Amino acid sequence: MADDMIENLYGAILSVADINHHFRKYNIERDESAFVLSVTDQEVHLAIDDIE
């Protein structure tokens, strides 16, 4: 994986962690509904009609 892609991945992970931190904080401090953002990876295979 290229270095810039690794940096983008780290940035995305840190963004999700930051969002979840704020969700927990607002739940505790403001009595808002509890939310958690999770990201999953799913590989999808598409049918290819013509491979020539």
Which tens digit of pLDDT belongs to each residue from 1-52? Answer: 788 989 999 999 999 999 999 999 999 999 999 999 998 888 877 777 666 5
- Percent pLDDT > 90 in the chain is 65
Radius of gyration over alpha carbons of the chain, in Å?
18
**Per the domain annotation, does 31 fall within a domain?**
yes
Residues 18 and 16: their CA atoms lie apart, in Å, by 5
**Per the domain annotation, does 49 fall within a domain?**
no
Residues 44 and 52: their CA atoms lie apart, in Å, by 22
The answer to whether 16 and 39 are in contact (CB under 8 A) is: yes
**Per the domain annotation, does 9 fall within a domain?**
yes
- Count up the domains in the chain and report the number: 1
Helices (H), ranges, the chain:
3-30
pTM above 0.95, yes or no: no
**Per the domain annotation, does 13 fall within a domain?**
yes
Domain extent for 10: 1-41
**Per the domain annotation, does 52 fall within a domain?**
no
**Per the domain annotation, does 50 fall within a domain?**
no
The answer to whether 26 and 37 are in contact (CB under 8 A) is: no
